Amino acid sequence: MSTLLQVNDITKIYQTQPKPGLDHVSFDVMQGEFLGIMGASGSGKTTLLNVLSTIDTPTSGSINMENIKIQELNQRQAADFRKDNLGFIFQEYFLLDSLTVQENIAVSLTLLHKGAKEIDKKVMELAELFGIASQLKKYPSELSGGQRQRVAAARAMVKRPPLIFADEPTGALDSSSATELLFALSEVNQTLGTTILMVTHDPYAASYTDRILYFKDGHIISELKRCNRDRRDFYEEIMLEAARQDKQR
């Protein structure tokens, strides 16, 4: 596996805060990896997503994606970079209620004036991976929360960005909808080789990833790797790690 994203010694200082939001954080994300980010509230997860996705800039340090130095992009370049390279899945689905599922997934391709055939093919491929192929003519209001989130995930991936940021994507879902989404994300990660960086509080969601970085007070405090193990074995280790961290509080 080659490196997709290099995070080198990034620090984010908020003038109003006594402690940095991120404090000398370094790690690599490999091409095709499904990486989990965990940590208590206030540990720096959102700050990390914001600086990696060019929504905010670090105070120091560097972030490279392939040959692009992300922190050196001006606002316009950053917007183009996000459009060309990144997909986002949030806890809220942010679907457009007046568009059908098909139109919601296709919207970024439509804006690029892609041909109808190409759009249909790309939408169908993702709709099948996310188990929503039979819902394409419906409107978001006719879907369950789990189905809406899978539409949002398909929309994030339709332009095939090399990197997807998922911020608590299962946060609003019941357990069976969460399982369906996580299963589909793993499938897309493996089938299309899309790299996914997912922030989550949920050990069960984290058990679908390849590796987890744990944050506390803006630092990385530990790392767990799945290493070809069964998801259930990884889940047990995540629960042990949660108990270990709880003791150290």
Enumerate binding residues for ligand ATP (CB under 6 A): 14, 16-17, 21, 39, 41-47
Q: Reduced to 3 states, what is the DSSP secondary structure of residue 168? A: coil
Per-state percent for the chain, helix, strand, coil, to nearest 5: 40, 25, 35
Least Å distance between CB 37 and ligand ATP? 9
Q: Would the CA dihedral through 116, 118, 123, 124 be positive or negative? A: positive
- Residue with smaller CB distance to ligand ATP, 39 or 140: 39
Angstrom distances, CA of residue 167 to CA of 35, 46, 249: 12, 8, 25
Least Å distance between CB 20 and ligand ATP? 8
Alpha helices in 12-134 (DSSP H): 45-52, 75-85, 101-111, 116-129
Q: Which of 182, 169, 168, 165 is nearest to 88 (CA)?
A: 165
Least Å distance between CB 186 and ligand ATP? 23
Least Å distance between CB 76 and ligand ATP? 23
- Residue with smaller CB distance to ligand ATP, 97 or 246: 246
- Residue with smaller CB distance to ligand ATP, 54 or 194: 54
Least Å distance between CB 72 and ligand ATP? 22
Q: Which residues 6+ apart lie within 8 Å of 207 measured at CB?
A: 231, 232, 234, 235, 238
Between helix 116-129 and helix 175-192 the angle, nearest 10°, is: 120
- Residue with smaller CB distance to ligand ATP, 2 or 41: 41
User: Are the CB atoms for 122 and 110 separated by under 8 Å?
Assistant: no
- Residue with smaller CB distance to ligand ATP, 214 or 234: 214
- β-partners of residue 224 are 212
Q: Which of 148, 196, 189 is nearest to 172 (CA)?
A: 148
- Residue with smaller CB distance to ligand ATP, 39 or 169: 39
Least Å distance between CB 47 and ligand ATP? 3
Least Å distance between CB 50 and ligand ATP? 8
- Residue with smaller CB distance to ligand ATP, 194 or 209: 209
